[in-house]
Amino acid sequence: MYPVDLIIFDVDGTLVDSAQDLIASVNVTLESIGLPREDPDVVQSYIGDGVRKLVERALGQEQQRLYPRAVEVFRKHYDEHLLDHTRLYPGTEEVLAHFSHKKKAVLTNKSYGFTVKILKGLNILHNFEEVVGADTTPYLKPEPYGIFRIIEDLRVRRERTAMIGDGVKDIEAAKSAGIKSCGVLYGYTNRERLLNVSPDFLCEKIQDLKGILF
């Protein structure tokens, strides 16, 4: 087991299963601007790099001229529907309670406002000392800037910090920041892709963290 004072969590695909609401908002957006709906599995593969990249990928290279209108439609619809189907992964509350004596933070490529609304709506926002979203720092993961900011703000040491996430960029950000990484295998990233970036630890389910960190 690895000793930590701070645990940093990703959100989508790590703490919450938000894919259904993100996919629905993407397809409403596409329909509203006259484009065909996209396959849900394909849209899910676009998740992880924030709203801008999600909408850009859904539009495709040939339709980028529609981006300003598309992102406006997406933001409005998602803001109104981001808790329709989004749920905590089983065991999330149990794990947060288990680590109640540790400092915890959220670092996500999702917009800060959407993130806080979801965490508050699912009644887990109070567990985190800090939430850093896509529009609260100049850089998104895999840049380590957000990790450095949280470590500095919460006054902990890098060697006592771990990043938990389902994405390749979560692991890359942790490695760049010089902290331990834990890849969760139940999220949205293809299992082999996540294994290929060699996280320090792996979780088949979030409860596994209780046997990895202390």
**Phi-psi region for residue 108, left (φ > 0), alpha (ψ -120 to 50) or beta?**
beta
Q: What span, in angstroms and rounded, lies between the C-alpha atoms of 185 and 204?
A: 5
Q: What span, in angstroms and rounded, lies between the C-alpha atoms of 107 and 132?
A: 5
Give SS3 for 162: strand
Predicted local confidence at residue 36, as pLDDT: 96
Active site residue 41: no
Predicted local confidence at residue 181, as pLDDT: 98
pTM for the predicted model, two decimal places: 0.95
Predicted local confidence at residue 140, as pLDDT: 95
Output the CA angle 107-108-114, nearest 5 degrees. Answer: 120
Parse the chain into domains and list their residue ranges.
6-17+87-211, 19-81
Predicted local confidence at residue 105, as pLDDT: 98
Of the candidates 162, 158, 184, 181, the residue with the CA atom closest to the CA atom of residue 171: 181
- Give pLDDT < 50 ranges for the chain: none
Selected catalytic residue, list 5, 10, 49, 170 = 10
Both tokens of 105, joined, read 């933070």
Predicted local confidence at residue 87, as pLDDT: 98
Q: What span, in angstroms and rounded, lies between the C-alpha atoms of 4 and 75?
A: 36
Query: How far is the CA of 12 from the CAs of 96, 107, 109, in angstroms?
Result: 16, 10, 9
CATH superfamily, region 6-17+87-211 = HAD superfamily/HAD-like (3.40.50.1000)
What class has domain 19-81? mainly alpha
